[in-house]
């Protein structure tokens, strides 16, 4: 993991003092709410329906056990004993008091954490593949580049008051688990002609009111040019992005309106002027950061653990958990263990302080002290010996973190919705809870297999409904909650925007509608065919007929 040096540490401490000063100037009235608002947002502090909400950055989803324990402590001392992991790999606390937030930041700074730029119209937390450094299909660890971007984007003097928020994602693997094509900028690590690592650059993806898949802007960029190219991309956006309408202010609209070619030309022209300047990354710095992500001291193990295989044979529950929650690791004898934060009937992404402490302990015992946050709102222990998986599973069961449903219908992404959010037009959490309860039977859940279901409580699409295989969007229709269903969305390397299947459903009919879709899939699928493959083969017709009858 990256460890702060004195420069990083100094900056984060200075930030705490800055925010303390801002809060006291707000309380004294020196700052108006209008002036304070962008400042607090840039520090992740929202005013929600019932209270302030503090969003803490988890840079590219990586946490040490020490940091996880600190989050547990904050949940316990300053909140109501729980936190909510988000689709941006961050964590939100729902009940902090304004005057206590500087103290929370001071505690976070002790463990090299902060809330910098977790909101506001600036460059947000850069996200990455949650399996970074562990995935078998990885070219290089994307966290190296995320950390470089994190630093460059922190307090960037030119790009802190952009037209709108700005999100960057990086993946180093063949399978895109970071959803880079629905980001403002998506970066894929690729190998150049001479074998060196460089980047393929995408721009203009995004969800929200106008979902769009990113366009490829550059085939190959040298590593040393990363920051100068990003700076050129952001400068063009800052100068020419629309500011007349906040719903048209994201970079996707600019790229769409002027076209990817014109955007690329503008970026390349800008880049030509700054490429050889101070933004060129020194090789020593790249190697310093790369060193921070040196793999942990893995043992040399057999590729297949007989003890592990025997356990799976003996214990069906364990075998089921392994089938859905464990992924292949790049090192023989190790595995990636996903921890589902989606128990049947639970709130997606929520974890109690006790659960956070437990995960920290398991990370220390079995995963080199490392934890990851996945954008699907789950946790990951990235480096577990296959031999330890059984003990881990038992331990997870003792704190109700053993739901065997990663990548299944139980693994629902949902925004906080109208239960917390002041923008929402409908509730999301109760819908997620009802669906996961309806499909709680594990035999059935595993029979349905791989599928994604995402729920947003308003058109802003924080629940990523456009890219769920099944998407649900809650809308308000004359004071009643209605839920619109889209089918066919994908967030991976085959990213696609789902299409609306027909009229929406009332809140008491939405779960039945989902069940109808699932039953239709089960009746028409071919052997081993996933939901999305069946849908892509047959189109929407059979599902439409099942939901609305034949016309």
Which positions touch another protein (CB under 8 A)? 5, 7-8, 10-11, 14-15, 17-18, 21-22, 25, 30-31, 35, 38-39, 121, 148, 151-162, 227, 231, 235, 238-239, 243, 273, 277-279, 281-282, 284-285, 288
Give me the least distance between CB of 270 and another protein, in Å please: 9
Give me the least distance between CB of 27 and another protein, in Å please: 15
Give one DSSP letter per residue of 499-540, joined into a string: EE-SS-EETTTHHHHHHHHHHHHHHHPPTT--HHHHHHHH-S
Q: How far is CA 208 from CA 253, 413, 474, in A?
A: 11, 15, 13
Question: Judged by CB, which is closer to another protein: 122, or 412?
Answer: 122
- Residue 50 burial (10 A CB sphere; 0-12, 13-18, 19+): exposed
Chain-centroid distance, C-alpha 273? 34
**C-alpha span between 267 and 218 (Å, rounded):** 10
Give me the least distance between CB of 10 and another protein, in Å please: 5
Question: Judged by CB, which is closer to another protein: 181, or 235?
Answer: 235
Give one DSSP letter per residue of 291-358, joined into a string: HHTPPP------SS-HHHHHHHHH-HHHHHHHHHHEEEBSSTTEEEEEE-S--TTS-TTEEEHHHHHH
Q: Do β-strands 168-171 and 185-191 pair in parallel, antiparallel, or remain unpaired?
A: parallel
Give me the least distance between CB of 425 and another protein, in Å please: 25
Question: Judged by CB, which is closer to another protein: 25, or 76?
Answer: 25
**C-alpha span between 292 and 279 (Å, rounded):** 21
Give me the least distance between CB of 14 and another protein, in Å please: 5
Under 8 Å between Cβ of 159 and 152: no
Question: Judged by CB, which is closer to another protein: 18, or 103?
Answer: 18
Question: Judged by CB, which is closer to another protein: 76, or 156?
Answer: 156
Question: Judged by CB, which is closer to another protein: 14, or 512?
Answer: 14
Question: Judged by CB, which is closer to another protein: 237, or 505?
Answer: 237
Question: Judged by CB, which is closer to another protein: 157, or 479?
Answer: 157
- Looking at the DSSP bridge assignments, the partners of residue 486 are 471, 500
Give me the least distance between CB of 62 and another protein, in Å please: 19
CB proximity list for 344: less than 8 A, separation 6 or greater: 403, 405, 410, 436, 437, 439, 440
**C-alpha span between 373 and 216 (Å, rounded):** 27
Give me the least distance between CB of 222 and another protein, in Å please: 16
Neighbours of 506 (CB within 10 A): 12
Structure-block tokens of residue 324 = 């859905």
Question: Judged by CB, which is closer to another protein: 115, or 487?
Answer: 115
Give me the least distance between CB of 278 and another protein, in Å please: 4
Under 8 Å between Cβ of 414 and 433: no
Question: Judged by CB, which is closer to another protein: 249, or 351?
Answer: 249
Q: φ, ψ for residue 224 (rounded to 5)?
A: -65, -20
Give me the least distance between CB of 147 and another protein, in Å please: 11
User: Which residue, among 159, 132, 42, 70, has the nearest Cα to 375 in the 3D structure?
Assistant: 132
106: part of which helix (H) or strand (E)?
helix 101-110
Task: Report the alpha-carbon angle 285-290-293, nearest 5.
Answer: 140
Question: Judged by CB, which is closer to another protein: 17, or 519?
Answer: 17
Helix (H, G, I), strand (E, B) or coil at 132: coil
Give me the least distance between CB of 162 and another protein, in Å please: 6
Under 8 Å between Cβ of 186 and 203: yes
Give me the least distance between CB of 484 and another protein, in Å please: 32
CB proximity list for 123: less than 8 A, separation 6 or greater: 117, 153, 156, 159, 162, 166, 167, 168, 234
Give me the least distance between CB of 80 and another protein, in Å please: 31
Question: Judged by CB, which is closer to another protein: 31, or 431?
Answer: 31
């Amino acid at each position: 993991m990256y460890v702060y040096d004195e420069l990083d540490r100094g900056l984060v401490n200075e930030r705490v003092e800055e925010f303390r000063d801002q809060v006291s100037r707000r309380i004294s009235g020196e700052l108006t709410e209008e002036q304070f608002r962008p400042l607090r947002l840039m520090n992740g502090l929202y005013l929600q329906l019932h209270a302030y909400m503090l969003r803490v950055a988890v840079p590219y989803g990586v946490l040490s056990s020490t940091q996880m324990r600190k989050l547990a402590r904050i949940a316990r001392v300053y909140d109501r004993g729980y936190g909510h992991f988000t689709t941006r790999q961050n964590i939100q606390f729902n009940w902090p008091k304004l005057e206590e937030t500087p103290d929370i930041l001071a505690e976070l700074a002790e463990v090299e954490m902060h809330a910098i730029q977790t909101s506001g119209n600036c460059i947000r937390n850069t996200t990455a593949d949650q399996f970074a450094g562990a995935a078998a299909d990885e070219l290089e660890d994307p966290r190296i580049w995320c950390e470089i971007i994190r630093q460059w984007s922190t307090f960037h003097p030119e790009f802190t008051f952009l037209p709108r928020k700005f999100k960057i994602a990086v993946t180093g693997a063949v399978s895109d688990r970071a959803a880079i094509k629905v980001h403002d900028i998506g970066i894929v690590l690729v190998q150049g002609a001479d074998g060196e690592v460089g980047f393929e650059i995408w721009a203009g993806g995004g969800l929200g009111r106008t979902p769009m898949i990113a366009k490829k802007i550059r085939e190959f960029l040298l590593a040393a040019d990363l920051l100068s190219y990003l700076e050129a991309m952001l400068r063009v956006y800052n100068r020419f992005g629309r500011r007349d309408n906040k719903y048209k202010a994201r970079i996707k609209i600019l790229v769409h309106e002027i076209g990817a070619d014109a955007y690329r030309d503008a970026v390349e022209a800008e880049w030509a002027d700054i490429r050889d300047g101070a933004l060129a990354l020194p090789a020593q710095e790249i190697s310093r950061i790369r060193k921070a992500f040196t793999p942990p001291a893995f043992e040399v193990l057999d590729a297949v653990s007989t003890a592990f295989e025997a356990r799976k044979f003996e214990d069906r529950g364990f075998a089921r958990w392994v089938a859905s929650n464990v992924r292949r690791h790049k090192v023989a004898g190790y595995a990636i263990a996903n921890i589902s934060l989606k128990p049947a009937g639970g709130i997606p992404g929520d974890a109690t302080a006790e659960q956070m402490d437990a995960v920290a302990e398991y990370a220390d015992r079995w995963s080199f002290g490392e934890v990851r946050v996945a954008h699907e709102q789950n946790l990951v222990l990235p480096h577990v010996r296959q031999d330890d998986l059984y003990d881990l599973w038992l331990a997870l069961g003792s704190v109700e973190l053993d739901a065997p449903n990663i990548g299944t219908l139980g693994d629902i992404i949902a925004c906080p919705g109208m239960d917390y959010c002041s923008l929402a037009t409908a509730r999301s959490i109760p819908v997620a809870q009802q669906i996961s309860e309806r499909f709680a039977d594990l035999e059935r859940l595993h029979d349905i297999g791989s599928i994604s279901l995402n729920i947003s409580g308003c058109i802003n699409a924080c629940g990523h409904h456009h890219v769920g295989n099944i998407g649900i969007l809650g809308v308000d229709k004359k004071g009643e909650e209605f839920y619109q269903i889209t089918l066919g969305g994908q967030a991976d390397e085959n990213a696609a925007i789902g299409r609306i299947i027909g009229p929406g459903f009332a809140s008491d009919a939405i779960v039945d509608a989902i069940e109808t879709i699932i039953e239709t899939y089960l009746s028409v699928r071919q052997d081993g065919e996933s939901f999305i493959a069946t849908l892509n083969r047959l189109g929407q017709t059979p599902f439409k007929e099942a939901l609305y009858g034949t016309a």
